[in-house]
Structure 1
């Protein structure tokens, strides 16, 4: 890349540098690459930052085998990553069906990435992805945790581009002379997110006069901050399994205390819904002798007298 530095490239580099600022030289960084514009752009600017900060950088291309030619897409991504000076590995996964094709693919992808043991795994989600996630959460009525969207940092997962529009990643690719793959699923009306992207978002932008994606992303940031505050308070509640303690809490705080207790007991947080929490709440506020509330992850919550407890659910029980 010659000539004057493209300002979009400079922005991308600064976002990655900020996202990794807590890591020491030599830290292992993995970029998840699909071959699309978002992840290729992320890889390109991360290569620059990793070189300057002495990070150990590599990339993983997850081949979900969901489309004809996926191996060719992965091979082309490897070629372009090599040109960027990034060593890479293609990991082939078998995608199940639990929770739908998108959720199954995401789960398989994250499991493959987790096996790298990296200090940080960078994902190419953009502001547009965040806006779509918030809309999906609103449509499901999943509560503030869903509306909060994706976090910039979630354990080892980091999303430096959450403030960057999708068009900017394409500009970064052009600046690096990278050619990206356009996933046909992104235009397939069989997928709800695709319809949001291609039909709903343009209509909202037209009706509301623009700035909708940015507004939704700001909303996610605000709700996430509120959630974090309430979660911190919930973690300080004494005797969180006592019914009298729970009953005296404000509903917004009580739901978080109940959720924290369920997670600590081994419930699957990715499948724990507002419906589950409402049932747990009824054990506290409207108990009529319910035996137990089954939760995802093979856990059940039981009320005995004035106390809640969690038990493992027997297979088939």
Structure 2
């Protein structure tokens, strides 16, 4: 007996292990495009064999004429696939960063609420091609190694697990899988609008790189992201261990400064970032982290460093001390007797 078409089989293989990893429900986020429809179909098939409940969610951003009807059409496809429950979530798109960023923020907030309400993971249809575009964006913007490392298959954030099982699957495969199964696909006009940077990367930059470098660029970028992520995860683990040791040594919420100085810069900055984030500092940027690091590597008796939210960090008695909002002007304490500022 013949099996499913190759593209359909590839999609099912991509989700199979994740579906069978436990009995926690899954909500498939679906825009109606080929990637998310193919994902929903693969999840529906594998869930039946695994005995796992899979539902679907489509978000109506209200930004295009007929968006409500489009969302209902997508929901109908999900119901025909056997997903349950199927949710249509209207959102208000507001905020800074342009319509694309604002829509993304509203969409993820709605998906997170739905996942929390149903105790489910959220499955997202990002493909290998999306990963390649993300890596290129990170490189071009100088966003740092984590951005270049791209998206991860599974990530927990704020109590919600975001699952991307298709990061090894090409976009052409998801479209072929939909065609093979007779599934309707909606092509969002935003995805071909050259006003958006990602669209130009997709339609102009990546094809040019493929031509100049002789093909295989998208898989190579995705492979680079995976290798870099392994290195970054190792550095994070080293920094976590160092932070735990120093925090236990201090025992009072401060961070000993002298042991940080000889650490490799990549580890030292991670220790500082982990300490500040654990203290609840919001919107921590590279410029803030560099200023705090100067209290370790360039100590000359300078005053406290300002942080987002009105907090600050000062160096006193040989340690970094967090100053809560409102305490910025107070003295953190005397200098350590054997700690003289650099000349």
Structure 1 residue runs of 5 or longer lacking an equivalent are none
What is the rounded CA distance, in whole Å, between the counterparts of 1:103 and 1:283 in structure 2?
Answer: 35
SS in 1 for 2:29: strand
* 2:267 maps to which of 253, 259, 263: 253
In the superposition, relative to structure 1, how do residues 66 and 91 fare at CA in structure 2: closer, same or farther (>3 Å)? Answer: same
Residue 278 in 1 paired to residue 302 in 2?
no
CA contact (8 A) 1:267 1:299 kept: no
CA RMSD of aligned residues (A): 2.0
In the superposition, relative to structure 1, how do residues 266 and 102 fare at CA in structure 2: closer, same or farther (>3 Å)? Answer: farther
Q: How does 1:286-305 map to 2 (within 5 A)?
A: 286-288=298-300, 289-295=302-308, 298=309, 300-305=311-316
What is the rounded CA distance, in whole Å, between the counterparts of 2:39 and 2:230 in structure 1?
Answer: 26
Residue 232 in 1 paired to residue 240 in 2?
no
What is the rounded CA distance, in whole Å, between the counterparts of 1:58 and 1:104 in structure 2?
Answer: 25
Q: How does 1:29-40 map to 2 (within 5 A)?
A: 29-40=26-37
In the superposition, relative to structure 1, how do residues 114 and 171 fare at CA in structure 2: closer, same or farther (>3 Å)? Answer: same
What is the rounded CA distance, in whole Å, between the counterparts of 1:19 and 1:176 in structure 2?
Answer: 22
| Offset at residue 4 of structure 1 (A) | 4.3
Larger deviation, residues 112-121 vs 74-83? 112-121
In the other structure, the counterpart of 2:168 is: 163
SS in 2 for 1:20: helix
In the other structure, the counterpart of 2:186 is: 181
| Offset at residue 97 of structure 1 (A) | 2.3
TM normalised by structure 2 equals: 0.85
Q: How does 1:131-150 map to 2 (within 5 A)?
A: 131-150=132-151
What is the rounded CA distance, in whole Å, between the counterparts of 1:102 and 1:282 in structure 2?
Answer: 36
Residue 216 in 1 paired to residue 221 in 2?
yes
Q: Which runs of 4+ in 1 moved over 6 A?
A: none
In the superposition, relative to structure 1, how do residues 40 and 115 fare at CA in structure 2: closer, same or farther (>3 Å)? Answer: same
| Offset at residue 42 of structure 1 (A) | 0.3
In the superposition, relative to structure 1, how do residues 242 and 112 fare at CA in structure 2: closer, same or farther (>3 Å)? Answer: same
Larger deviation, residues 276-285 vs 231-240? 276-285
Residues 81-135 of structure 1, C-alpha deviations (whole Å, 9 max, x = no match): 1111113111011122223333322222121111122331100000011011111
| Offset at residue 181 of structure 1 (A) | 1.1
CA contact (8 A) 1:120 1:158 kept: yes
In the other structure, the counterpart of 1:126 is: 127
In the other structure, the counterpart of 1:80 is: 77
In the superposition, relative to structure 1, how do residues 253 and 5 fare at CA in structure 2: closer, same or farther (>3 Å)? Answer: same
What is the rounded CA distance, in whole Å, between the counterparts of 1:221 and 1:243 in structure 2?
Answer: 33
CA contact (8 A) 1:142 1:274 kept: no
Structure 2 residue runs of 5 or longer lacking an equivalent are 248-254, 330-343
| Offset at residue 142 of structure 1 (A) | 1.5
Aligned residues: 308
| Offset at residue 249 of structure 1 (A) | 0.8
